[in-house]
Amino acid sequence: MPASAPSRRRTLFRHHDFRQVWMGDTVSVFGMELVGLAIPVMAVQLLDADEFEMGLLVSLQMLAFLLIGLPSGAWVDRWRKKRVLVLGDLSRGLVLLSLPAAWVLGVLTLEQLFVVAFVTGGITVFFDVANQSYLPEIVDADQIGEGNAKLQASQQTAAVVGPALGAALLRLIGAPLTIAVTSVCMALSSLFVSRVRHVEERPDPADRRPLRTEIAEGLAFVVRHPLLVRITACTGLSNFVSSAVQALFVLYILRDLGLNEATLGLVFSAGGVGGILGALTADRTARLVGEGRVIPLSAVLMVVASTGVPLASVLPSVPTLLVGWFLVSWAVVVYNITQVSFRQRLCPRPLLGRMNASIRFLVWGPMPVGAFIGGVLGEQLGVLPTMWLSVGGALVAALPVVLSPLVGMRELPRRLDALQADSREE
């Protein structure tokens, strides 16, 4: 049983350690929302980045998931996850501070932006693996779904407030100083997580096996299960496509549609509202349509809603973008809460870091490739044709879960023995 775990009848609002992790995660993701808006705006407005350079920038932000995604899980399983979270936020804050410092000194370059994007992405690899593996350490297994829903609700709240505030800050103080504000968020996040009382037992170094063996265990856990492998394929393909859109989205809004930073922030905030609603309704939706069925259902909705981005070029731009981004975000959050809770409750705790890292490698590894290809296609074909191609890609991404047993399942396996039985049935 995790230390400090409350009674199953008590809400996680009254769980001290969960509250600290919850507040820390919310503040951290709030800061990253500001960064996610300010860095591409800085590249476009201050450094005149073109389609290819924007694709390269987004690709570098995610490249570490492809390069070190698999071994990161084995390493995190050997470390104390609380320490990884605290040091991760502190180091990201310091690296990001180099951008406003260079701007003040008049030496800011696109090359520095690329380096900061790559280094920050590398730190995020370890931070995210530890973050997803830490929740089962501090709460009971039957509280994991509640914990993920609360984390998603807070994260999506930050996704609403972050872009709106970020857009205001961009107009008031500019992109470099907006990035400087994130250092405060990172410091607060580290402070909250450092207050967690649960004491982790560091795995005995004598029990370690070759890194390759430990990595293979985490990867095998994912690819050998017939449901997990389909979910992972859908998520990986979806991320590949969405990264191509993300690489060009700011350029599309500011240059092609002729909208301003405030509208860009408003669109992202609409997505955050959709995400909050998704977090609040995920459990009810799963009970209504079935825990298994909600995964393909949300994947199909992502395809339909994604048409809002290219349609904004022929329909009223702002309302079309707002509705599309709202629906996409709702579907993504419902999908994520369901599938993340599913895999967390199945995985043995000593394997959590490697399992999460394996999935992150498989679903985030395609993202730098997608972003790079998006930048190339945007330069060669144009931004709008690339956006329409992404809609077709989203349809292909949904097929692994739409054409799967998930469509007929109300309940997903809840225990490891159920997982093994399910694998034999397949």
How confident is residue 64, by pLDDT bands cut at 50, 70 and 90?
confident
Instruction: Look at residue 1 and tell me if it is in a domain.
Output: no
Query: Closest Cα to residue 334, out of 274, 270, 266, 397?
Result: 274
Selection from 70-74, 149-153, 288-292, 310-314 with the highest mean pLDDT = 310-314
Residue 33, in any domain of the structure: yes
Task: Retrieve residue 336's tokens.
Answer: 């994520």
The candidate with the shortest Cα–Cα distance to 271, out of 341, 347, 326, is 326
Most confident of 181-190, 228-237, 276-285: 228-237
- The most confident of the ranges 168-177, 390-399, 417-426 is 390-399
Residue 418 has pLDDT above 70, yes or no: no
| Residue keyed to tokens 């350029």 | 251
pLDDT for 28 beyond 60: yes
358 domain residue, yes or no: yes
Share of the chain above pLDDT 70, in %: 91
> pLDDT value at position 304?
94
**Per-residue DSSP letter, 211:** H
351 vs 382, higher pLDDT: 382
Residue 166 to residue 175: CA distance in whole angstroms: 9
Residue of 110, 102, 101 whose CA lies nearest to 46: 110
Question: What is d(CA 101, CA 389) in angstroms, rounded to the nearest whole number?
Answer: 39
Whole-number percent of the chain with pLDDT over 90: 24
Q: Is position 6 within any domain?
A: no
Is 121 part of any domain?
A: yes
In a domain? residue 363: yes
In this prediction, residue 203 carries a pLDDT of: 63
**Residue 413 placed within a domain:** yes
Phi, psi of 246 (to 5 degrees): -60, -35
Residue 160 has what pLDDT?
A: 66
Nearest residue to 162 (alpha-carbon basis) of 177, 187, 181: 181
**pTM of the shown model:** 0.68
* φ, ψ for residue 79, nearest 5 deg: -115, 170
Q: Using one digit for the tens of pLDDT, what is the confidence trace for 304-337?
A: 999 999 999 999 999 999 999 999 989 998 998 8
The CATH number given to whatever domain includes residue 79 is: 1.20.1250.20
pLDDT at 36 over 70: yes
CA gyration radius for the chain?
Answer: 21
Q: How many structural domains are present in the chain?
A: 1
DSSP secondary structure letters along 43-95:
IIIIS---HHHHHHHHHHHHHHHHHHHHHHHHHHHHS-HHHHHHHHHHHHHHH
pLDDT at 159: 65
Cβ atoms of residues 41 and 251 within 8 Å:
no
On whether residue 3 sits in a domain, the answer given is no
From the centroid of its chain, how far is CA 367? 11
Other beta carbons within 10 angstroms of residue 93's beta carbon come to 23
pLDDT in tens, 99-139: 999 999 989 999 999 999 999 988 988 888 787 778 877 87
Residue 204 pLDDT level (bands cut at 50, 70, 90): low
The amino acid present at 121, given as its one-letter code, is G
Which residue segment(s) compose the domain that 185 sits in? Answer: 12-198+210-425
Res. 224 pLDDT band, cuts 50 70 90: confident
Task: Quote the CA–CA distance of 399 and 168 in Å, as a whole number.
Answer: 40
User: DSSP per residue over 248-314, as a string?
Assistant: HHHHIIIIIS---HHHHHHHHHHHHHHHHHHHHHHHHHHHHH-TTTHHHHHHHHHHHHHTHHHHTTT
